[in-house]
Amino acid sequence: MDASLEMIYDEMLQRNGEQPEFQQAVREVMNSLEPILVSHPHYTDAAILERIVEPERQIMFRVAWQDDAGITRVNRGYRVEFNSALGPYKGGLRFHPTVNLSVIKFLGFEQIFKNALTGQQIGGAKGGSDFDPHGKSDAEIMRFCQAFMTELYRHIGPHTDVPAGDIGVGGREIGYLYGQYKRITNRFDAGVLTGKGINWGGSLARTEATGYGTVLFAQNMLATKGEVLEGKTVAISGAGNVAIYAVEKAQQLGAKVVTVSDSSGSIYDPEGIDVALLKDVKEVQRARISNYAQRRSSAEYRDGAKPWGVPAQIALPCATQNEVNAQDFAQMVKGGVELIAEGANMPLTHAAIEEAKAAKVLYAPGKAANAGGVATSALEMQQNDGQTQWTFAKVEEKLEQIMANIHDTCLEASEQAGQPGDYQVGANVAGFIKVANAMIDQGIM
């Protein structure tokens, strides 16, 4: 980065000490922007970078709730409303014990550019709590969600801020959160949350959208090399919402997916993941992934091991940030990796990304490859606005178009930035320009 960018970065570091994930996400974007800032000095004149790294609003709150034993528990809730230049704040809620301000800010920052890439009118935000849903009863999940919304409701609204799911927050949690919002406000504001149940305002295909979109993005990348997914072997990490539907779409398109994982270990199933069994284990039983191997003879459970290293041309990390470091990437290379598309947010470390680029492995960052989830959330908002529900096929067709557009936008921007074919640079540049132009139009704030 040049000297003026370094100065802005240093100021950001000083203001946000002890926030390593946020610092990492900012660095990642800033590294891509130098050529654009040099050729477009009005962004620097308007102090866009200094403004864009500072959230418009950060909310932190106490969430007190009672567990099944009647003991009062206290967690911390967050909502960081990062940028509203393009539309109402939009982004998921994460419930996981590792959640802190740094994690929510990194996710909210990335969301600004991701949402811009979708071409829809949505700003960037993220929220969540350090609450751990693992091992909690349904009643405890409900009481926690109700307590969380009892504070959050005053900050959100269909035209203000529209939360959705992320790690630890799926359809069940969105239902409890929505019920409490409705009870407090006495309003059926369908557009206040996305990822709702399909019989009360949810969009068909929202559950599938992030995983499907990631695979569709990978297919677009392969097409630039004259290749297709059919016949390829795919390694996937995670076993949650994104991973499950990445498995499903990859297999629909003729690939064989041989791994999934959770934070305890990984599954190697050389005959191909049985997606119906995977859904039963994770969505119905809410069990650990080791349970899959107990129920399928072709599968092996590798305790404590990541899924990488098995023969696979395509790797889709779909679990969490920094799950793939340089050593993990070396394992992927051993397995013959040719393409990595991020289903998770920031799953590759900076070092892993650099190694992937040096090895000429096709690499797509999460803010492009996993944007199908939030894009379909915006389609859900559109359906809520029009009090209508589109068919699964219609939503999926729109998702396919959106992923193809994001892919092409990234490639065009990579050329504009003088680094053709670099999806990371392309995603950052295209997202930045869109938001920066809107910020300039709307004046200093």
Using the Cα atoms of residue 384, residue 388, residue 391 and residue 397 in order, give the sign of their dihedral: negative
Determine if 166 is a binding residue for ligand 2IT (CB under 6 A): yes
Binding mask 195-214 for ligand NDP (x = CB under 6 A): ---------------x----
- Residue 17: other Cβ atoms inside 10 A: 8
Question: Rounded to an integer, what distance in angstroms lies between the CA atom of residue 211 and that of residue 428?
Answer: 21
Site for ligand NDP in 374-403 (CB under 6 A): none
Question: Which residue, judged by CB position, is nearest to ligand NDP in the bound state?
Answer: 240
Label residues 126-148 b or e (16+ Cβ within 10 Å = b).
Answer: bbbbbbebeebeeebbbbbbbbb
Binding mask 169-188 for ligand NDP (x = CB under 6 A): -x------------------
How many residues interact with ligand NDP (rule CB under 6 A)? 24
Give the binding range for ligand 2IT (CB under 6 A) out of 34-42, 88-96, 249-257, 310-318.
88-96
In the set 129, 219, 220, 241, which binds ligand NDP (CB under 6 A)?
Answer: 241
CB-nearer residue toward ligand 2IT: 210 or 251? 210
- Could you tell me which of 265, 292, 266 has the C-alpha nearest to residue 277? 292
Q: Which residue in this structure is represented by tokens 């990194």? A: 106
3-state secondary structure 296-328: CCCCEEEECCCCCCCCCCEEEECCCCCCECHHH
Question: Rounded to an integer, what distance in angstroms lies between the CA atom of residue 320 and that of residue 368?
Answer: 16
* Chain CA centroid to CA 431, Å: 15
Question: Rounded to an integer, what distance in angstroms lies between the CA atom of residue 11 and that of residue 360?
Answer: 34
Q: How would you class 16 by CB atoms within 10 Å of its CB: exposed for 0-12, middle for 13-18, buried for 19 or more? A: middle
Angle of helix 20-39 relative to helix 350-358, nearest 10 degrees? 50
Q: Which residue in this structure is represented by tokens 């289903």? A: 343
Question: Rounded to an integer, what distance in angstroms lies between the CA atom of residue 346 and that of residue 340?
Answer: 12
Question: Which residue, judged by CB position, is nearest to ligand 2IT in the bound state?
Answer: 92
Catalytic site includes residue 126:
yes
Determine if 309 is a binding residue for ligand 2IT (CB under 6 A): no
Structure tokens at 189: 């504001």
Give the binding range for ligand NDP (CB under 6 A) out of 43-51, 69-77, 233-241, 292-300.
233-241
Question: Rounded to an integer, what distance in angstroms lies between the CA atom of residue 202 and that of residue 285?
Answer: 23
Determine if 88 is a binding residue for ligand 2IT (CB under 6 A): no
Give the binding range for ligand 2IT (CB under 6 A) out of 85-93, 291-299, 308-316, 421-429.
85-93
Give the binding range for ligand NDP (CB under 6 A) out of 32-40, 67-75, 135-143, 312-320.
312-320
Question: Rounded to an integer, what distance in angstroms lies between the CA atom of residue 159 and that of residue 251?
Answer: 38
CB-nearer residue toward ligand 2IT: 114 or 407? 114
CA separation (Å) from 271 to 134, 186, 256, 275, 300? 30, 52, 8, 12, 11
Give the binding range for ligand NDP (CB under 6 A) out of 37-45, 259-267, 269-277, 431-439.
259-267
Determine if 165 is a binding residue for ligand NDP (CB under 6 A): yes
State the alpha helices, DSSP H only, in 186-325.
206-223, 241-252, 275-279, 290-294
Site for ligand 2IT in 342-361 (CB under 6 A): 345
CB-nearer residue toward ligand NDP: 88 or 240? 240
Determine if 87 is a binding residue for ligand NDP (CB under 6 A): no
- Residue 114: other Cβ atoms inside 10 A: 28
Give the binding range for ligand 2IT (CB under 6 A) out of 36-44, 223-231, 316-324, 370-378.
370-378
Determine if 238 is a binding residue for ligand NDP (CB under 6 A): yes
CB-nearer residue toward ligand 2IT: 233 or 428? 428
- CB of 316: closest distance to ligand NDP in angstroms? 10
In the set 90, 114, 126, 256, the catalytic residue is 126
CB-nearer residue toward ligand NDP: 362 or 369? 369
Tell me the β-bridge partners of 125. Answer: 81
Partner that binds at residue 25, options ligand NDP, ligand 2IT, none, CB closer than 5 to 8 Å by kind: none
Determine if 343 is a binding residue for ligand NDP (CB under 6 A): yes
Q: Name the residues that contact ligand 2IT, by CB under 6 A.
A: 90-92, 114, 164, 166, 194, 345, 373-374, 377
Q: Name the residues that contact ligand NDP, by CB under 6 A.
A: 165-168, 170, 210, 238-243, 262-264, 318-320, 323, 343-345, 370, 373
Residues taking part in catalysis: 126
